[in-house]
Structure 1
Amino acid sequence: MVAFPVFLDSYQQVRLSSSLVFLAHLLLLLLLQPGEVNSENFTVVGPGEFVLAYVGDEVEFPCHLSPYLDAEDMEILWFRSQAADVVHLYQGRRELYGQQMAQYQNRTELVKDDIADGSVSLRLHRVTLEDEGTYGCCFSSGDFSGEAIWELEVAGLGSDPHISLEGFKDGGIQLRCTSSGWYPKPQVQWRDHQGRCLTPQTEAIVKDAQGLFRLETSVIVLEGTHNNVSCSIQNSFLGQKKEFVVHIADVFLLRTSLWKSIFFGTLVGLLLLLALLTILALCFFEKQRRSQEKLKKQAEKDKGKLQMELDWRRAEGQADLVCVSLQRKTPF
């Protein structure tokens, strides 16, 4: 019976351990109740300090609780600069649009597949330059409220450069480069085949109605240059550029072909004009010849008639003289 007290001590230790485990589980359950969350124990994690979006694309703003907690019954708000500027509102297990700012209507989409784990995301469609600025997301439930803040930066990577032949000027060929849809203001550079910068003849970078930059620049390349010339446009904010290369030999070949076409076209036109003038001249002379022949025949005809009339009158006059002579010789 000496071991009996030891048995009681072991039993008491086991009972005490079970009680401690139960109390620990109970404490954990109390901590995880949404209505009794301690704001010091949970934080809201946003997408980061900065978010980059391209004009016309969509951007996503993910937010979650740390540590993860069911947020299905919480109020989740995405706002612009301040809470009163509502971008998107989730409340009472549904999305409310009555307080949403006009510029975000029909452009937001809530992704809540993992809301039970405290993770949600807001998609903003058709990004514009006006969307650039400060954003935040806020989780609130009972005594708990937390938010995350970030900056949305918007950029535009414009269209591919287009080089066109403008004509021949100052002993060389004038090339023009155009592109649009850039933001912020881009940098443009002409270069030859060796990478050397070419001084532009003209350069204009202006904003369009959407606030995006459109550029137009030209350069004169001297004749005899049978190498590549490039127009490069760079967005320094994105660290990206677009480039277009043209081969000068092909352009001058186009010039030769153009002048040949103009020469032969002019020559054919002159020949046709000469032939037409020749035909008109022949027709004119032929008409004049026929008119003269007709006048000549008419004159000869009139002359014959006049001669006949004159002969007739002479004959008639002689007959009258004979009659008069006869009358004088006849006695009464």
Structure 2
Amino acid sequence: MELRSSGLWLLFLCALGCVTAEEDKKVISTIGSTAELSCIYTPEKKFILNKLRVFWQIADGSKPCSVVHTFNSGHENQSEQCADFRNRTRLFQDKLENGIFSLLLLNVSLRDEHTYRCIVQKKDVVFRVIHNADVALKVAANNSLPVLSGPIRIHPNIGEEVTLSCNYSQGYPKPNIYWINRTDNSSLHPSSLKIIQDNDGTYSVFSTLKIEANSDIKIGCIIENELLQQNLTILYSENVTNSNSTRSNLLDLNEPGAQAGGVLAIAIVLAGLAVLTCWLWKRKFRHRRSYADVQQNEDGAQQNSK
């Protein structure tokens, strides 16, 4: 007698404790991307698909509906699939017979952050579990660059207090923020820091730094995503004098775009100078030629008068 409910099947299997192989893995995926949850078993010979069952479920008990994907005796079964996963899961159909039971999860969102369990059954006389794998899916987001703004006063004087602001949004998990003095790479303590979780689950950061203006201000704001092992850096640079100042907000100087922009600007300036030099040379040549023609005409006229 076969159990009709895949959920009951899984409970029954756990009660028997008949798992023969286990995997524990962690997968990191970003919001909106496709995650591959690995479940691989190497058979002695190819599986017969109508004697195979593959169950994917949420293993951490965090949701009332736990069925993610079911493959039963050669056919996909979506009748008990949770609504959150409808039309978002795929098995590698052409690789099942070779023991590749990995699951593709499309359009990943924060609500997909769970531990998933893959259970594989093979039928000899009855179905029995031959493989079990747990995969923890961690979701991350680093979709925007931090925004660094300088003082409201356009030309601060040396010794004047300067306030810098660094804002960042749509990060996950909760990010870390660091202020550094790029002149000596020393750490700076923020004057204020607020990290809030938005309605979509991502985090926004608001921080300010107050410093005393000197002749050369170079401050960096760094947003760290520990899960992705990624740092987003933006720089503020300002040369201050008692009478005037120049400033520029720069993205991370390690970015190729910053270097390419500088090379392009230099090339444009050099091209402009070349065009201007050529125009001046042609104008001078024409002036000399015109003067020579006039002089020749005057000499001819004097000879004729004689």
Aligned equivalent of 2:246 = 253
SS in 2 for 1:70: coil
Deviation sequence 1:245-264 (CA, Å, 0-9, x none): 12122894269xxxxxxxxx
Deviation sequence 1:230-287 (CA, Å, 0-9, x none): 00111234432111112122894269xxxxxxxxxxxxxxxxxxxxxxxxxxxxxxxx
In 2, Cα distance between the equivalents of 1:84 and 1:230? 46
Aligned equivalent of 2:76 = 95
Aligned equivalent of 1:31 = none
In 1, Cα distance between the equivalents of 2:152 and 2:226? 32
Is 1:70 matched with 2:47?
A: yes
Is 1:205 matched with 2:195?
A: yes
Shift of 1:161: 1.5
Is 1:122 matched with 2:100?
A: no
In 2, Cα distance between the equivalents of 1:174 and 1:229? 11
Shift of 1:225: 3.5
Aligned equivalent of 2:94 = 113
In 2, Cα distance between the equivalents of 1:85 and 1:41? 21
Identity %: 25
In 2, Cα distance between the equivalents of 1:211 and 1:42? 36
Aligned equivalent of 1:187 = 176
Shift of 1:229: 0.9
In 1, Cα distance between the equivalents of 2:43 and 2:65? 27
- Give the root-mean-square deviation of aligned CA atoms: 3.0
Is 1:229 matched with 2:219?
A: yes
Mapping for residues 1-332 of structure 1, pairs under 5 Å? 43=20, 46=23, 48-68=24-44, 69-73=46-50, 74-81=52-59, 85-140=66-121, 141=123, 142-146=126-130, 147-168=132-153, 171-193=160-182, 194-249=184-239, 252-253=245-246
For the 8 Å contact 2:26–2:137, the answer to whether it is kept is yes
Instruction: Give the structure-2-normalised TM-score.
Output: 0.62
Deviating runs (4+, > 6 A) in structure 1? none
Instruction: Give the structure-1-normalised TM-score.
Output: 0.57
Number of residues paired by the alignment?
216
Whichever residue aligns with residue 98 of structure 2, its letter is D
For the 8 Å contact 1:49–1:149, the answer to whether it is kept is yes
Unaligned runs of 5+ residues in structure 1 are 1-39, 256-332
Shift of 1:152: 2.0
Deviation sequence 1:81-138 (CA, Å, 0-9, x none): 1697110111232222221111112221222221221223211112222212221111
In 1, Cα distance between the equivalents of 2:41 and 2:148? 52
For the 8 Å contact 1:180–1:214, the answer to whether it is kept is yes
In 2, Cα distance between the equivalents of 1:72 and 1:45? 21
Shift of 1:212: 1.1
For the 8 Å contact 1:200–1:220, the answer to whether it is kept is yes
Shift of 1:214: 0.7
Shift of 1:43: 4.7
SS in 1 for 2:84: helix
SS in 1 for 2:137: strand
For the 8 Å contact 1:174–1:220, the answer to whether it is kept is yes
Aligned equivalent of 1:286 = none
Asked which structure has the greater CA Rg, the reply is 1
SS in 1 for 2:246: helix
For the 8 Å contact 1:43–1:66, the answer to whether it is kept is no
For the 8 Å contact 1:43–1:67, the answer to whether it is kept is no
